Structure 1
Amino acid sequence: VGISLPTFFIGILLILVFSVWLGWLPSYGRGETVAFGWWTTGLLTGDGLKHIILPAVTLAIFQIALVMRLVRSEMLEVMRTDYIRFARARGVPKRKIFFRHALKNTLLPVITITGLQIGGIIAFSIVTETVFQWPGMGLLFIQAVQFADIPVMAAYLCLISLIFVVINLIVDLLYLAVDPRLKSDAASKE
């Protein structure tokens, strides 16, 4: 369900259930804000936190479902390898096999996809911002497209490109922490 439904439809369903039927959460807007000099935020007030729950869940459902499917398929593949069989034959506890051996080798593609998805959330949350009427970068970009404001569109695209580059750099640095083959290559070169 998390992968097959489009984000805007998930947002509308969440509004229907949690705002209209149950009345627990607000359906739109940013909520009460607090000013700290030039910076205003709604994340430090109770009302602002209530307003962020539905958009955050809307953006997270697809990402969580994607990462869960990826981890499951990678774990199934890794569990069929020879070193896992040898660890089982030696009597290594299942918990240690899962978390120390299998999951560690599963993390490389998961880190790659997660990094790309984080960039995608930042860049393409325009639809979610529109559904929940959030005054964010998405609204700014939509208004720039409507009014053919080329400098704003170019600045938005440059900022998104920078965010993708930084996230890819962080992902590459995480590879060094996760992949033991890269550690041994770096140690042998020194």
Structure 2
Amino acid sequence: MKKLIFTSTILLTGLILAGCAPVKHQITHTETSSKKALHSSSHKKQHKNVAPKIDLRKKYKGFKLTTVPSQYRGIWYRADPYSKKATKLVITTHTFNDYVTYRKTDPNLKLDHNSEKQNKEYAGNAVMISTDNGGLKERNFLDTVDMVYKLGQFKGNDCLFMSYGTNPNAVNGVAFKDKNVALKYRKYDFSKVKQ
């Protein structure tokens, strides 16, 4: 379900950034789960964000724990035109927004997002990453499309240019090191940026 929500969010974001759909959206890599709790005194529904449990020792067939290159690590911020708040993208040595990073070690492993068995086997808070053509590629094990992050500068500010789909040079969004800069450019059309 998390994978479906994440993929849908990315696809909707692309449509919105391209000006095709005026829908409120928010790009986040991690879709945190919500628990509904009934408050005893007010009986109102409340949502509690629960961070996924990070297990660096978990093994997946055909994958091995890997390290995120240091230049991508840190806290990045992304804002969209329909929100006045910036969302965080937290990248650490072995995590990508609370998802543990792995690399594919078995080139013969065929992954099928329609496979019920593989959906059970590869369930969890894990993503595979690779570095290629000056970018960091990231996706869930069974996803078919990579999210590509490229380091860069936008108007003198350090940033990560983000793209997805078949054209890794298209810019579908930008994350900045500075939260205020992300908010400043939240309405900017980054699809016009050439890398």
Q: TM-score, normalised by structure 1?
A: 0.24
Give the structure, 1 or 2, with the largest relative contact order (CA under 8 Å, sep 6 or more): 1
* Greater radius of gyration (CA): 1
Greater share of residues in helix: 1
**Structure that is richer in strand per residue:** 2
TM-score by length of 2: 0.23
